[in-house]
Amino acid sequence: MRGLRKVTLLVLILVAVSLVAGAAPKYNWKLASVLPESHPVHKALVFFADKMAERTKGDVKITLFPAGQLGQEKDYIEGVKLGSIEITKVSAGPMGQYSPSLQVVSLPFIWRDLEHQHKVLQGPIGERLMKDMEKNGFKGLAFLDAGFRSITTSVRPINTPADLKGLKIRVMQSKPLIDTINALGATAVPMGQSEVYTALQTKVIDGWENNEPTVLSFNMQEVAKYYSYTRHTSIPDFLVMSKRVFDAAPKNVQDAVLQTAKDTIQEHNKLWAMMIDDTVKQLKAKGMIFNEVKDIREFQKAVANVWKEFEPIVGKDLIDAIVNTK
């Protein structure tokens, strides 16, 4: 009888442990991205989801929806604003439509290098941009490296702005980016990421602009083999949460979200740096042709008026503060 009681007690303990271990999470959140699982940004999002589960002891479960499963970035931004999607990774470019001051990060040639961008966006200016977004229903969590954007075409290498004349170049839905490409002499064509490959294949567009890892992740070298280093802008990726969902969460969960976002910045930037050199080697092996432009000053001169155009929108003081950050 005593032995039976021991066995019964042990069974009860094991059942209790399994129930605790398998307890349903208190919060089930979706995290949407257009990028495929092979992209370094996706790996950073996996890190974010895993770290949140660990930090909240399983109270928060984040399910990733990569590769455009839930639509395009504009759908994600609208979803986050409404609270139907809890978190998304989008480019800061289209986010500028919802928070005007954020358009400053998309201005051409405003960043000297990624170190300059990190100092600005992880300091007081970055905090100011995040606060502006809160007024519009978004809880900004982290700016993530997305490298410098250059022009890729199926037609010819780009050496001078004159080489862009007559070409249709796909861009994100971002007014600074649209104005930049138009100022360089091409025709900017706003288009969702999932449509770009087919548009290049069918000659609806002649090229697009992006960073090297994104070219490789979507196999764009198959339909646009010339990669010209214009480095005309560096628009960071952005991890953003529904303010409504964030505000409804208890403080311990809010703290976990903010700390995990900080950890993700470091993890992502490390992943990004490791991937760049390897990506270029892979693209060259697949037949992509790279070239430096002849004189970047020609490109800078061509887009000079874009800054002027955005001074009334983002504030000349904000532009000057970024430029003067050492």
Confidence of residue 23 (pLDDT cuts 50, 70, 90): confident
Over residues 153-162, mean pLDDT: 98
Mean predicted confidence (pLDDT) in 170-188: 97
Any residues with CB less than 8 A from the CB of 96 and at least 6 apart, and which?
102, 103, 105, 106, 174, 175, 176
**Mean per-residue pLDDT, 191-209:** 96
CB atoms within 10 A of CB 304: 11
Q: How confident is the model at residue 230 (pLDDT cuts 50, 70, 90)?
A: very high
Q: Over the stretch 256-273, which tens digit does the pLDDT of each residue have? A: 999 999 999 999 999 998
Q: Report the alpha-carbon angle 175-177-180, nearest 5.
A: 110
pLDDT confidence band for 19 (50 / 70 / 90): very low
Burial (0-12, 13-18, 19+ Cβ within 10 Å), 157? middle
Q: How confident is the model at residue 22 (pLDDT cuts 50, 70, 90)?
A: low
Spatial CA neighbour of 93 closest among 32, 176, 33:
176
pLDDT above 90 for 12: no
Q: What domains lie within the chain, and their CATH numbers?
A: 24-145+235-276 (3.40.190.170), 149-234+280-323 (3.40.190.170)
Asked if the model's pLDDT at residue 15 lies above 70, the reply is no
- Model confidence pLDDT, tens digit, residues 28-72: 999 999 999 989 899 999 999 999 999 999 999 999 999 999 999
Place of tokens 């064509």: 189
- What percentage of the chain exceeds 90 in pLDDT? 89
- Average pLDDT value for the chain: 93
Helix H or strand E segment including 79: helix 73-82
Q: What is the pLDDT of residues 98-136, one digit of tens each?
A: 999 999 999 999 999 999 999 999 999 999 999 999 999
Q: Is the dihedral of CA 97, 211, 145, 41 positive or negative?
A: positive
Burial of 118 (0-12, 13-18, 19+ CB in 10 A): middle
How is residue 86 written in tokens?
């809890």
Using one digit for the tens of pLDDT, what is the confidence trace for 244-303?
Answer: 999 999 999 999 999 999 999 999 999 998 888 899 999 999 999 999 999 999 999 999
